[in-house]
Amino acid sequence: MALLSMTAADRVRTASGTLVGAPGTNPAIRTFKGVPFAAPPVGNLRWKAPLPVAKWKGVRPATAFGARCMQARIYDDMIFRDPGPSEDCLTLNIWTPAKSAREKLPIMFWVHGGGFQAGGSSEPRQDGEVLATKGVIVVSVNYRMGIFGFFAHPELTKESGHNASGNYGLMDQAEALRWVKHNIKAFGGDPNNITIFGESAGSFSVCALMSSPLSRDLMTRAIGESGAFFGATLSARNLAESEQAGVKFAADQKADNLAALRAIPADKLLDTTKNSRGGFGPNIDGYYFPTSAAEIYAAGKQAHIPLLAGWNSDEMPYQALMGNAKQKLTAERFQQQARERYKDDAGAFLRLYTAASDADALNSAKALDGDLFIAYGTWKWINTHAKTAASPVYQYVFDRVRPALPGKSIPGMEPGSYGAVHASEIEYVFGALDSNKDFNWQPDDRKVSELLQNYWTNFAKTGDPNGPGLPKWPAYSPASIQVMHLDADAKAQPEVSRGRYEFLDAQAARQGGKQ
């Protein structure tokens, strides 16, 4: 019996073949890395929907991360443990505490961020081992990005069989979910208990996976950390616009057919597009996205599942929109910018984003930039889902400020003027504080990390983040909207910024989704 248990843990038979994993740093966790979930999207499969992975004979080692998908070096905080970028990148990783295939543990399926241009599943801050010790199986996935994941063209639309092109990266995520649904039982998982979660573009992806008919039946619960397809950030363009961008790109490359485009070496494609950051992204193709995500949610056609979502207290430095790094932001200047930007609505705006003093204006500029970048769109997602889905919703704001090492500051931000910046919750969620040596972690940081791990895994197990010894997190209720503020003294508080989001919502309605 002991031999049977060990075999189930060490060797796993999937639909494609047998995998052999390796023990984690914690011997209670078994890891399976670089597991292919789809055929390599190379050659004639470039810019096609993912196809099933070919079966293999014998035992395949799953002990090292697969290559991350093609990308330029964009974000300095991304550290990888993989062989480097490649088109052959459609792999996933599994961390499981199960000792046999009979345990039926809940699954947490992680989608990394990076603006749909960069990122990968091998980052130490996203390692699933510690989270898996909470009694869940953690899965992380690679997906195509940039021109490789989102290139649209009329000829691609014609050959697709569903009159659409682009969104291959989003389809990769859906294919990985299908792979998990069909295979995770062999790793001790419950295919009917899958929580998808992600940060930034990963959170946008969670929003998309819940809305698309290709994937909305594949998950049980969802967690979104900072981002959704509501508002202007990473907004999906219409198919015709994306196709025309593709036509222009092909003309610039003097490629007059798909064969010529597919013959361009991957490195050259990447080099050609590395300065067009954000130029190739999701579109409303009529297939993956039948209509916009906002319309799908408003019609109640998304997955009706429990949602836990929120954002960080200081998602974007004030210099991004209302400030200038070379020019001090004053109350007078902020008020003038408000009048120029919001015209007849400037008075209403300044009652919400006040500028009674220079310091007040600075705080309002930070709040506005964070709202426009992430908070408003995530808020709109939460509120729309709460209205149209008969499912519990839990809302949070992450307030914990990572303690910088003495003498270290965050570039572009005045010392002492920032809160919890974009992506700073990731190390806490994964229990991976020690993977980041740039911060002077304190006991309270470890307390917050433990708190988030417990909330997130409780939610994955039951659809409710609450549990013994945790501060009470009330579900969303229109009668009394409570937001969980996550810090060392975590507590639920009444929502105080709703007026700001309602103002931005009205502006977006007038301007077709653009603030």
Q: In sequence order, what are the beta bridge partners of 31?
A: 22, 95
- To the query of whether residue 182 is one of the catalytic residues in this protein, the response is no
What lies within 8 Å, CB to CB, of 197 at 6+ separation is: 108, 109, 110, 111, 206, 222, 223, 224, 225, 456
- To the query of whether residue 153 is one of the catalytic residues in this protein, the response is no
- Compute the half-sphere exposure of residue 338: CA atoms within 13 Å on the CB side of its CA: 23
| Helical packing angle, 358-370 and 331-342, nearest 10° | 40
- To the query of whether residue 315 is one of the catalytic residues in this protein, the response is yes
Of 136, 239, 214, nearest to 460 by C-alpha is 136
- Structure tokens, 497: 């910024």
What lies within 8 Å, CB to CB, of 162 at 6+ separation is: 286, 287
Which among 16, 121, 200, 203 is annotated as catalytic?
200
| Helical packing angle, 201-211 and 168-183, nearest 10° | 70
User: Token pair 């003093």 is at which residue?
Assistant: 357
Instruction: State the Cα–Cα distance between residues 443 and 260, nearest whole angstrom.
Output: 57
Which among 87, 199, 315, 427 is annotated as catalytic?
315
Of 328, 278, 287, 352, nearest to 507 by C-alpha is 352
Instruction: State the Cα–Cα distance between residues 241 and 271, nearest whole angstrom.
Output: 23
From residue 77, alpha-carbon distances to 119, 164, 213, 278, 446 in Å are: 10, 35, 34, 18, 21
From residue 149, alpha-carbon distances to 42, 46, 92, 169, 456 in Å are: 12, 9, 17, 4, 29
Backbone dihedral region for residue 234 (phi beyond 0: left; psi -120 to 50: alpha; all else: beta): left
Q: In sequence order, what are the beta bridge partners of 486?
A: 398
From residue 199, alpha-carbon distances to 74, 110, 126, 190, 206 in Å are: 17, 9, 10, 24, 9
Instruction: State the Cα–Cα distance between residues 448 and 313, nearest whole angstrom.
Output: 15
- Structure tokens, 175: 């294919």
Length of the chain: 515
| Helical packing angle, 498-510 and 376-388, nearest 10° | 90
Which among 199, 422, 427, 449 is annotated as catalytic?
422
Q: Write out the catalytic residue numbers.
A: 200, 315, 422
